[in-house]
């Protein structure tokens, strides 16, 4: 698996809590999108662990193609249908 699986074609709305650490799924295999559940084991992928700077509603990437990981940057709009 060289490329992450597209887990969705729209962002995941989540409520982040200031100071809390989160493990963002980078492989696209997690059943707990957009967060890691360990399904990357055996692949070259590992979660992006980040700490929320503030409590807020955030939109995290589901297509795994964002240039602003873990946040959605709208790249999913450019994905063609397979």
Domain total for the chain? 1
Is 18 within a domain? Answer: yes
Summarize pLDDT for 10-69 with one digit per residue, the tens. 999 999 999 999 999 999 999 999 999 999 999 999 999 999 999 999 999 999 999 999
Beta strands 12-16 and 48-51, pairing class: unpaired
What is the pLDDT, as a whole number, of residue 1? 79
Residue 35 belongs to a domain: yes
With respect to residue 16, please indicate whether it lies within any of the assigned structural domains.
Answer: yes
pLDDT at position 82: 43
- Do the domain assignments include residue 33? yes
pLDDT above 90: residue 80:
no
The CA-to-CA distance between both ends of the chain, in Å, stands at 18
What sign has the CA pseudo-torsion 76, 71, 29, 12?
negative
Is residue 82 in a domain?
no
Range of the domain at 24: 1-77
Confirm whether pTM is higher than 0.75. Answer: yes
DSSP state of 54: S
pLDDT at 81: 53
């Amino acid at each position: 698996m060289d490329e992450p699986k597209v887990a969705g074609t729209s962002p995941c709305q989540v409520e982040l809590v200031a100071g809390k650490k989160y493990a963002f799924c980078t492989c696209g295999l997690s059943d707990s999108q957009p967060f890691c559940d360990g399904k990357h084991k055996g692949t070259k992928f590992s979660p992006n662990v980040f700490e929320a700077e503030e409590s807020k509603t955030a939109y995290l990437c589901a297509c795994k193609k964002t240039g602003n990981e873990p946040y959605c940057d709208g790249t999913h709009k450019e994905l063609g249908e397979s």
